[in-house]
Every structure is written in C-alpha cells, then in structure tokens.
Amino acid sequence: MKNITFNSIKVKSNPQKIVEPSENNIGIKYVILEPVGFPIKINGENIKVTVDDGKLFNHYARDQWENEIIKEGDYLFDNNIIPDYAFKILSVYPKDGEITTKETIYKLNTPIQNEIKNVKKTYFEEIIGQNQAKNKCKIIMKYLENPEIFGEWSPKNILFYGPPGTGKTMLARALASQTESNLKLIKATELIGEHVGDSSKVIKRLYEEAATNKPCIIFIDEIDAIALSRNYQSLRGDVSEVVNALLTELDGIHENEGVITIAATNNPDMLDLAVRSRFEEEILFKIPDEKERLEILKTYSKKLPIKVKVDFKKYIKKTEGMNGRVLKEKLLKPLLHKAIIEDLDEISEKEFEEILNRLTNQNTKNIPSDLYS
C-alpha cells in the first residue's frame, strides 16, 4: 500500500465536542476502536493502521481524546500523526458513560483467534440424531441473529452435557455456522494461567474479544476440569481464581449483548453448584439409538474414498452403546486403513465384520486399540 502525503488537499474533521468532567458524569473505562480510514479517499488510496504496542497507543489516544463525548457508532479523528484519520467506536463500557478520562483504556479491534472462518463449518443437517438438543438450540439461534429483541430475557449461559463423542462440540460449530457468528473454542484448562492473576486476565480478555466480535459463541469444553465440586477435589488456588473470574462473566456483570457462553461436560453432577447454577438451560446429548447408528454408518461410509458393500442392518445390534465418534474413528477409519494396506478395491462385509469384532472385543475386555494390524 502506497504512502500518502497531504500537501494540497486537507479534509477538515468535525469539531470535537469537549466538555469538562463533572461529578454526574460516569467515566468510560474501555473503548474498542476500529480503524476505518479517511472520510475521503485520495487517488483511491487509504491507509491501514495496525498497533504493535497497545500500551503506547493507549497513551497516545488518551492525550488527544481525553474528555470527549463519545458513544458507540461515533467516530474519533486522529489530530497528530495521521490527521483526519477516522476510528469507529465499536464498543464502550459502561454504555451509559459520557466522558472519557485519563483512566480510559483504548484498544484496536482484534479478531478472536478462533473465528468461525478458521473453524470447520458444520450445519444442523450434518448432525445425526440429538433432535431434542437441536430443537432447544433454536432459541440460541434466534438470539444470535437478533439479540436486541430479547433484552433482559436473553439466553446467556447454556450447559451441554452427556457422554463423550455425542456431538456437543459439533453442535456448537453448527450454531456458529448457521448464524454466521464467531466461535471461540477453548478447553477449560487453557483458562488456568501460569502465574497468580493470569487466569482472570485470560478470561477478561476472552470476553472482551467476544464482545468486539459479536455475535459470538464462547464454547468452554470439559468445564469440569476446573469446576469440580469441592467434594471431588482439593481446591487449588489457581483453579479457585479461574472459577471466580468465570463466575463474574457468567453473572453478566459486564453487559455482553450478542455473546453467549456454552460449556460442555460429561459429568454435570460433579460440577460445583455455584458454577452449575449459572447455566439457565441444560441440554442433554444422548448415545445414538439403533436407527441413528445405522444412519451414521451409512452417511459416513459414503464419504470413504473406497466403495463399501456392506448391509449395515445385519450388524447394527453389535454397535449398541457406541457413539458417533466411535463409529467414525474406531470402526470406519480403521476399516479404510485396512483396505488401503491390503490394496482392496472395495470394502466387503468380511472386512467390516473383522474390524467390528475386534472393536467389540476391545470394548468388553478393555484392551488397547489394535484394530487393523
């Protein structure tokens, strides 16, 4: 991108509205900005602004914008380094604040690390079974698509629970894909910082990023790793810190319209009551029934790069208790690998039955996986 000089053309910005702070004014604590460029492009060019040193940018912003009246959707104009360059105000906290102060923190909008564009897109029709869970998630979809109509009645914290491999993460991806929302996938243990105070900073940053990239789903997997009931763990200081910081966000101390938290666990009864009580809705994920297991096998077998000639109905009873992940990763995948190793042109019932028998024996005898050697 070319450098631009302004020798002959000068675009004058709107006069700044400067007022003196008073006792009645509530100072704005956080301002999230997005660099948008000049009001008028010159020779079709614009300038892209990035910030390497957030602390330095914050000092610079405070110097020129202190005591200016601002609200979400307004613009601030640079007066010094890039005159008349505009920054759009994406978000302010608190929303009823009027006057910025020397304590205000200015940040440029930075996309969350795991935006939906970087996460595999999934859609509801790809999720076999779990009809009750999908039906309950319709309210989440409506909220993410139109959060302002809900007001104080918006869904905020949802708990997905059920056996592993039943599609909890997959449904979170589908919710994000269907509503074109950002998605932040995180393991609960990633919230535990290395040093005292780190955990609260990590969680605060997580929700700040979500608020500036709304609509956004924060999906916390294996929440029981940090939020076990005291009956099941001796409470460590780092775990206590992360739970307290998380509870602050789940309680809605900060207004996060357009942001929803979904946590997942295999063991809801083992969760700390203080954490579990923050989830207004608990959605159960079940082991697929016979009809659903048959559909899973048929659907995924069609995606294999080798033709499959198997009547799955003959074997479906033997897959009882298996979830979708097991059927795909421990039955069909080893079956494909076996066919590749043996240079087969197609997969017959002989190969399928061999892998299925090994898998069922492994499950009953609790022996290590050795499916296609």
How does pLDDT run across 14-24, given as a tens digit for each residue? 344 444 444 44
Half-sphere exposure of 364 (CA within 13 A, CB side): 9
Interior CA angle at 323 toward 322 and 327, to 5°?
A: 75
The Cα 33–Cα 109 span in angstroms is 6
Beta-bridge mates of residue 265: 161
- Report pLDDT digits (tens) over 216-264: 999 999 998 888 776 655 555 556 778 888 888 888 766 677 899 999 9
- The confidence score (pLDDT) of residue 212 equals 81
pLDDT value at 321 more than 80: yes
Query: Does residue 78 sit in helix, strand or coil?
Result: coil
**Residue in 177, 205, 202 with CA at minimum distance from that of residue 192:** 202
Phi, psi values for residue 193, rounded to 5°? -80, 165
Per-residue confidence (pLDDT) for residue 48, from 0 to 100: 74
Bridge partners, 219 (sequence order): 185, 262
Question: For residue 354, what pLDDT band results from cuts at 50, 70 and 90?
Answer: very high
Q: Are 268 and 168 in contact (CB under 8 A)?
A: no
pLDDT tens digit sequence for 164-180: 999 999 999 999 988 88
Q: Is the pLDDT of residue 350 over 80?
A: yes
Per-residue pLDDT, averaged over 100-124, amounts to: 66
**Would you call 63 helix, strand, or coil by DSSP?**
helix
User: Is residue 163 within 8 Å of residue 287, measured between CB atoms?
Assistant: yes
pLDDT value of position 322:
93
19-23, 276-280, 300-304: least confidently modelled range: 19-23
- Least confident span in 92-101, 274-283, 337-346: 92-101
User: Quick one: pLDDT at residue 363?
Assistant: 62
DSSP one-letter string for 200-218: HHHHHHHHHHHHTT-SEEE
For residues 100 and 27, give the distance between their C-alpha atoms in angstroms, rounded to a whole number.
Answer: 5
What integer is the mean pLDDT of 295-319? 93
Q: What angle do CA 156, 161, 163 make, to 5 degrees?
A: 160
Q: Which of 283-319 are b and which e, b meaning 16 or more Cβ less than 10 Å from the residue's Cβ?
A: bebbbbeeebbbbbbeebbeeeeeebebebeebeeeb
Whole-angstrom distance, CA of residue 90 vs CA of residue 74: 8
- Average predicted confidence (pLDDT) for the chain: 80
Percent helix, strand, coil in the chain (nearest 5)?
40, 20, 40
Residue bearing tokens 């909008």: 109
φ, ψ of residue 100 to 5 degrees: the values are -75, 155
* Backbone phi and psi for residue 317, each to the nearest 5 degrees, phi listed first: -60, -35
The pLDDT of residue 253 is 61
Closest-CA residue to 161 (of 326, 286, 320, 293): 286
Q: Calculate the dihedral angle through the C-alpha atoms of 48, 52, 53, 57, rounding to the nearest 10 degrees.
A: 0
User: What single-letter amino acid sits at 40?
Assistant: I
pLDDT value of residue 326: 93
Selected residue with higher pLDDT from 247 and 2: 247
Burial of 246 (0-12, 13-18, 19+ CB in 10 A): buried
- 355 SS3 class: helix
Given a cut of 50, is residue 38 above it in pLDDT?
Answer: yes
List, in order, residues 6 or more apart from 266 with CB less than 8 Å away. 161, 162, 163, 164, 222, 224
